[in-house]
């Protein structure tokens, strides 16, 4: 089973790192990342696929 970041870890990632860089590396649009970071879209409603991409991004970049 694949472990993914918690909601709090995802929010921390999106508010303390460049969403542009995250977007380029993961293929998740900057607008989508911005919506999560600004509370427009609840992180709890994020697709599992996007959660996996963000988790892999953190692991690959030692964040």
Is 32 within a domain? yes
CA dist 59 and 19 (Å) reads 16
Residues 57 and 17 sit within 8 Å (Cβ to Cβ): no
Mean pLDDT of 17-38: 97
Tokens of 62: 């030692």
Q: Which domain holds residue 26?
A: 7-61
Does the pTM surpass 0.75? The reply is yes
For residues 24-48, average pLDDT: 97
Is 14 a domain residue? yes
Is 33 domain-assigned?
yes
Angle between helices 7-16 and 48-60 (to 10 degrees): 60
Rounded distance, CA 51 to CA 49, Å? 5
Total of domains in the chain? 1
In a domain, 1, yes or no: no
- The answer to whether residue 25 sits within a structural domain is yes
What six digits make up the tokens of 34? 């911005």
pLDDT of res. 1: 74
Say what the pLDDT of residue 59 is.
Answer: 95
């Amino acid at each position: 089973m694949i472990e993914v970041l918690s909601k709090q870890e995802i929010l921390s990632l999106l508010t303390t790192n460049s969403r542009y860089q995250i977007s380029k590396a993961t293929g998740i649009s900057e607008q989508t990342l911005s919506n999560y970071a600004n509370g427009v879209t609840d992180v709890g409603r994020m697709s599992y696929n996007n959660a996996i991409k963000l988790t892999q991004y953190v692991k690959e970049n030692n964040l």
